[in-house]
Structure 1
Amino acid sequence: MPPVWRLVVAVVGLSALSAGCGGWGGEGERQRPTPGSSAVRDVPMKVIQREGQTLALVPVSIQGHGPYVFVLDTGASSSVVDDDVASSLGLPRTGEKQTISGVVGSEKVPFARLADWRVGDVELGASTPAVVDLDRNGKRTGAKGLLGSDVLSRFGHITVDYAGGKLRLPAS
């Protein structure tokens, strides 16, 4: 298996994702701002801890389909969509491969054009996520993508509330 696939598989945490990925609850709740703060939106987040790993999972809808389970990965410079999801939705490709890198290596992968996607009910804006086979070698991970800093940084600041099970994003 090429090094970058090992990184993706390691980040996703094979067995950890198959448990606890049921309903998301109150998606995208609007919160009332407190004096001196701005309004935020809470996106439900599942937190899974197993074998020394902590994973944060969020619901992502693409072109009105889903939600799909995505790993919240603030350390990933590029978001990722599983190749099966990209194919089934007919996501157009950018036409060129680009390099994605991780701690164990780099590899060139295709990228897709995504105009309509959301985390909870929060619009993410147009993006070009990497298209990667997250179920490589028949190892079912349960994750259909990674939501990385390329998208999350657009919000300026986010709060990952592990104890409360919420991703907090500023309201637009």
Structure 2
Amino acid sequence: MGRHRLTGSGAMGLGALAIGLAMVGLMTAGAPLAAQDAPALDPAVPPAIVRTGPSPDERVTIPIHIDGKGPWNFIIDTGSQRTVIARDLAEQLALPPRANVTILSMTGRTEAETVAVPKLGFGGGTIDDIEAPVLEGENLGAPGLLGLDSLHAKRLLLNFRTGRMEISASGGSRRRIAIDPDAIVVEARRRRGQLILLDSEVNGMTVAVMLDTGSHFSIGNLALRDRLIAKKRAPDMVEAVLTSVTGGQLTGQVGRIKSVRMGRVNLIQVPVLFADASPFAELGMKDKPALLLGISALRIFDRVAIDFGRGKVDFLLPDASAISQTQLAAAVPPDKLPGQ
């Protein structure tokens, strides 16, 4: 089995398998496939979860001001429990040090310093007194990550058609949010700040699906891989090496999943890295099939709105004229799809 390297930029040279991130297809709304100097570490404090960063051309960023200075473009990372700042920016701003913490990245645990961020501003809002872990900017691929500690009561709108990213108050607050009548709404439950989509399947099997805007590619746990193999629904796979935001490495296998269904939405031919990534165990999903859906898969939609207050995700499908020829293959009846 050949070995390929997946860095934080999400590069995937996969040869004969032709597994490219641009090859994610979309099933239009309808029936699902089957029917259609810091103190020592405190061991009692659980580690924060930090994910792998995307490439500069694919990352989802938002301008951030720190104590009135800036802006700097931070990656919006729904897979990171903590807001993270690059070391060179923390030093430039002379942010005061705080406690050391344990960071849990895709590749395992590592110790990190934290700094006090007095005021963090984005859009029309601000957050005071953030304690942010410090990581190397070359691994982050950005001046920082905006994590769930800054998003927990917010609504995140990712408009891939216009390239505009917005953060506003949740629709679960007194503020009323207008929902596009053409959007497909998928409900979710919360676990450690994450939203886990309900009514989700991979190749016809029930799976916990989470959206990870900080990862370029999608990552499945070994429980998902093993279930697919047992059900004879596994894709062809090649070995790959992932490099995380902490610089650590993890070996896994990459293959294309035929179908990822979320409510009435189906994605087809989704490239996925299957690996024993540490966050799955931290979320209590080491032995349960689970998938982190990365930004490359989400970009096929015109718009995705993640409302952490309401516990809902709204997907707006692209117009048929905007779907590429590869994606139009999704209009073929399920039993006529390639490989069926």
Q: Same fold by TM (over 0.5)?
A: yes
The residue number in structure 2 matching 1:45 is: 188
Q: Which of residues 218, 226, 232 is equivalent to 1:79?
A: 218
Please give the alpha-carbon distance, in whole angstroms, between the structure 2 residues aligned to 1:123 and 1:87.
Answer: 22
The residue number in structure 1 matching 2:195 is: 56
User: What is the letter of the counterpart of residue 111 of structure 1?
Assistant: V
Q: Secondary structure at the match of 2:299?
A: helix
- Change in CA separation of 1:100 and 1:119 when aligned onto 2, cut-off 3 Å: farther
Q: How does 1:137-156 map to 2 (within 5 A)?
A: 141-142=284-285, 144-156=290-302
CA displacement at 1:77 relative to structure 2: 0.9
Q: How many residues align?
A: 138
Kindly indicate whether the alpha-carbon contact (under 8 Å) linking 1:159 and 1:167 is maintained by their aligned counterparts in 2. yes
Kindly indicate whether the alpha-carbon contact (under 8 Å) linking 1:93 and 1:110 is maintained by their aligned counterparts in 2. no
Q: Which of residues 108, 113, 127 is equivalent to 1:6?
A: 108
Kindly indicate whether the alpha-carbon contact (under 8 Å) linking 1:78 and 1:100 is maintained by their aligned counterparts in 2. no
CA displacement at 1:95 relative to structure 2: 2.4
Q: How does 1:7-22 map to 2 (within 5 A)?
A: none
Q: How does 1:114-153 map to 2 (within 5 A)?
A: 114-134=257-277, 141-142=284-285, 144-153=290-299
In the TM superposition, structure 1's runs of 4+ consecutive aligned residues that sit over 4 Å from their partners are none
Structure 1: gaps (5+ residues): 12-32
User: What is the letter of the counterpart of residue 89 of structure 1?
Assistant: L
Deviations 1:20-59 (A, max 9, x none): xxxxxxxxxxxxx97xx5610001112334xxxx212114
Q: Secondary structure at the match of 2:297?
A: helix
- Change in CA separation of 1:130 and 1:38 when aligned onto 2, cut-off 3 Å: same
- Change in CA separation of 1:153 and 1:101 when aligned onto 2, cut-off 3 Å: farther
**Greater Rg over alpha carbons, structure:** 2
Please give the alpha-carbon distance, in whole angstroms, between the structure 2 residues aligned to 1:146 and 1:78.
Answer: 9
User: What is the letter of the counterpart of residue 78 of structure 1?
Assistant: F
Please give the alpha-carbon distance, in whole angstroms, between the structure 2 residues aligned to 1:3 and 1:165.
Answer: 25
- Change in CA separation of 1:140 and 1:39 when aligned onto 2, cut-off 3 Å: closer
The residue number in structure 2 matching 1:104 is: 246
Identity %: 19
- Change in CA separation of 1:3 and 1:117 when aligned onto 2, cut-off 3 Å: closer
Q: Secondary structure at the match of 1:125?
A: strand
Q: Secondary structure at the match of 2:258?
A: coil
Which TM-score applies when normalising by structure 2?
Answer: 0.36
The residue number in structure 2 matching 1:158 is: 304
CA displacement at 1:135 relative to structure 2: 6.8
In angstroms, what is the RMSD of aligned CA positions?
Answer: 3.0
Q: Secondary structure at the match of 2:303?
A: coil
Kindly indicate whether the alpha-carbon contact (under 8 Å) linking 2:251 and 2:275 is maintained by their aligned counterparts in 1. no
Please give the alpha-carbon distance, in whole angstroms, between the structure 2 residues aligned to 1:47 and 1:139.
Answer: 14
The residue number in structure 1 matching 2:315 is: 169
Please give the alpha-carbon distance, in whole angstroms, between the structure 1 residues aligned to 2:221 and 2:236.
Answer: 13
- Change in CA separation of 1:140 and 1:41 when aligned onto 2, cut-off 3 Å: closer
